[in-house]
Chains A and B, each alone.
Chain A
């Protein structure tokens, strides 16, 4: 045990030495976060919470160099684009921040009296219990850039964060705070690599009767290491939906920490991941129900081949009094060969007696009978496989509500899989 603590502290000391000063905005929250991280140390492989994914690439003082990749950024979808290049805001490539009918401020430009000062780091701090998430705390303490978005009505168009990478060794931290006020609605799109190493935190407050949709595309670079945290608190009758499509990347861990705080709230998180070779993809989800009649859904699908590894750690915690909770969780993998593996740890912890919760996890191969049936009708084998892969991913993709965006992601998938456009 002593050795573990020492290792965690040593990793932290080495990393901190390379980081600059903490930015001034939300200084108290940042100082508190740093103090917490200093108590926790950085994650190491021996941590229970990192049992299936080795965090060492995320905690070394320097990022391992990776390939810079192009990102089209939801091409053809009408959205307000905010472009970050290696973590730095690119004003020239971005749209007018006022053009989506919501308030947007860059984190680096926010003054002491900005509304987000009260929210910055709050959900992240709450999300440290019961599981320590030191790299999210580190992000709160040191992230110098990000967006602060407040929607007070229906946004006139989606806001798209485009994460470009030009330098092979860029080590990027971004921190966003998003407030969707009572009855308001916002769609947030995200795409791109962001950096060779990407530490990304978003804190999302969904007000009463508000709706927040998040659609993210990560890929299709080989070398990226990314850790993302999505913290959200959903108010009464609020709606939160997040979907992530991932293709390749040597290490990706997407954490979602969601709290259903008001009665009749809804939170859905879903992911579709396709990996080949040195691909390690980890979805770690923690959903807390603490109000009446809330619904949560976790739908994760992974297609793995060439030795790729998929991980799912998902928990539903139903607190005392959260009656009539409807919690659902499914994680499935399609293993295209014998070298790939899927590790799943589904958990339910329930302290209320009148709830409906279910979870399931499966691993399987392509259905050879279905493949033959398609081929026997003239569908070429690669196309038949592609159709079956799409069919496997369908339940996760169905979590995207907007048809145009769903179609866009569908065509990305076809392109990534080498299928001609029709």
Chain B
């Protein structure tokens, strides 16, 4: 599904190198988790995959189902099936949630050569998707993320994901800011989407999310590299012992 090879990334404006050779292969239908200390480059990896400005890829490649991601515009990556649930979802005053979602969904469908959804069909779909994540209709009418609580923003990200039905979902600390019930709700939302044709890359600091969304593979990222890869037990080790041993072993 997703194949990242020897990815090197620096900041465009500064001589600061953030990713120093990331290798990662995610098979269709699998869930991978990435853990790692603050500042190790996890969000940067997700932004570079999604196509955010400000980063320069100096070496390596990233492809989605064999297609080179790095030469595509962010909207093309989305249409190709990539989705990033932001660590910090963005507030956009003046742009209504519904307008935004409908524009996004129909633009993706159009880019893939599929028929656009009518206003009525879209409304039905959006309502039922929102309801499944206990997002009330009132919130949907508001501008994108404006006035949403931290947890509501995160739920809204998953709601967008459920609506857009991407193939490759990258979740950047979707669990942070969620209360216990919301965490369950969000996890159920994610698990409901799990199928043979869809993969997940879950970035998190805590084992708890991985209790709900059981990963197939766990990676540890440190200083711009993946220094260790293992099964779910690796997350438990981090939970119990922190990163000290892993970092020492990785060097």
Query: B73, B93, B100: which contacts A377 (Cβ < 8 A)?
Result: B100
- Distance of A372 from chain B, by nearest CB (Å): 5
The interface residues of chain A lying within 8 Å CB-to-CB of B51 are 372, 375-376
A379-B53 contact in complex given A369-B90, A390-B94, C-beta closer than 8 Å: no
Are A381 and B86 in contact (CB-based, < 8 A)? no
B75 contacts A by Cβ under 8 Å:
yes
A389 to chain B, nearest CB (A): 10
Q: Is the CB–CB distance between A378 and B100 below 8 Å?
A: no
Among the stretches B58-66, B101-109, B194-202, B224-232, the one at the interface with A is B101-109
Chain B positions 59-116 with a Cβ under 8 Å from a chain A Cβ: 73-75, 77-79, 83-84, 86, 89-95, 99-101, 103-105, 107-108, 111
Q: Is A391 interfacial (CB 8 A cutoff)?
A: yes
Alpha-carbon gap, A381 to B73, bound state (A)? 9
A-side interface size class? 20 to 34
What is the total number of residues of chain B having a CB less than 8 Å from a CB of chain A?
A: 33
Partner among B53, B94, B104 whose Cβ is within 8 Å of the Cβ of A374 = B104
Whether A378 pairs with B78 at a CB distance below 8 angstroms is: yes
Contact A368 B75 (CB under 8 A): no
Q: Which residues of A contact B111 (CB under 8 A)?
A: 378
Residue of B52, B83, B103, B105 near A387 (CB, 8 A) is B103
**A379 adjacent to B94 (CB under 8 Å):** no
* Across-interface contacts of B53 in A (CB, < 8 A): 368, 372
* CB pair B100 A387 closer than 8 Å: yes
Whole-angstrom distance from the CB of A299 to the nearest CB of chain B? 13
Contacts of A379 in B (CB 8 A): 75, 100, 103-104, 107
Contact check, B73 vs A375: say whether CB atoms are below 8 A apart. Answer: yes
Name A residues whose Cβ lies closer than 8 Å to a Cβ of B.
367-370, 372-381, 383-384, 387-388, 390-392, 394-395
Could you jot down 20 A-B contacts, CB within 8 Å?
A367-B92, A372-B50, A373-B86, A374-B100, A376-B74, A376-B83, A378-B75, A378-B105, A378-B107, A379-B100, A379-B107, A381-B75, A383-B103, A383-B107, A387-B99, A387-B100, A387-B103, A388-B92, A388-B95, A391-B93
Residues of A within 8 A of B164 (CB): 377-378
Q: Which residue of A lies closest to B160 (CB)?
A: A377
Which residues in B have their C-beta under 8 angstroms from that of A395?
94
How long is the Cα–Cα vector from A374 to B73 in the complex, in angstroms? Answer: 12
Contact of B75 among A369, A370, A375, A392 (CB under 8 A): A375
Best-buried of B89, B93, B160 by chain A (most CB within 10 Å): B93
| B interface residues (Cβ-Cβ under 8 A, vs A) | 50-53, 73-75, 77-79, 83-84, 86, 89-95, 99-101, 103-105, 107-108, 111, 143-144, 160, 164
- Measured between beta carbons, the chain B residues less than 8 angstroms from A377 are 78, 100-101, 104, 160, 164
- Interface residues of A: mostly helix, strand, loop or mixed? helix
**A395 closest partner in B (C-beta):** B94
Is the beta-carbon distance between B107 and A372 smaller than 8 angstroms? Answer: no
- Bound CA span A395–B101, Å: 22
List of A residues within 8 angstroms of B52 by Cβ: 372, 376
Most buried by B among A368, A369, A380, A395: A380
- Kindly state the separation between the CA atoms of A202 and B139 in the bound complex, as whole angstroms: 43
Whole-angstrom distance between the Cβ of A369 and the nearest chain B Cβ: 5
Instruction: Find out whether the CB atom of B74 lies under 8 angstroms from the CB atom of A372.
Output: yes
Complex formed: what's the CA distance from A290 to B103 in Å? 48
Q: Which 6 residue pairs across A and B have the least CB separation, nearest first?
A: A391-B94, A378-B78, A375-B74, A378-B108, A377-B104, A373-B90
Among A370, A380, A390, contact of B90 (Cβ-Cβ < 8 Å): A370
CA A374 to CA B101, docked complex, whole Å: 9
CB distance from B2 to the nearest CB of A (A): 16
Q: Closest residue of chain B to A373, judged by CB?
A: B90
Nearest A residue to B77, CB-CB = A376
Residues of B within 8 A of A367 (CB): 92
Complex interface: chain A residues within 8 A of B94 (CB): 388, 390-392, 394-395
For the complex formed, measure the closest distance between the CB of A411 and the CB atoms of chain B, giving whole angstroms.
14
List chain A residues, Cβ under 8 A from B105: 378
Task: Name the residue among B86, B103, B105 with the largest chain A CB count within 10 angstroms.
Answer: B103
Bound complex: CA of A303 vs CA of B89, how far in Å? 26
Closest CB-CB distance, B92 to chain A, in whole Å?
Answer: 5
Q: Which residues of B contact A370 (CB under 8 A)?
A: 90-92, 95
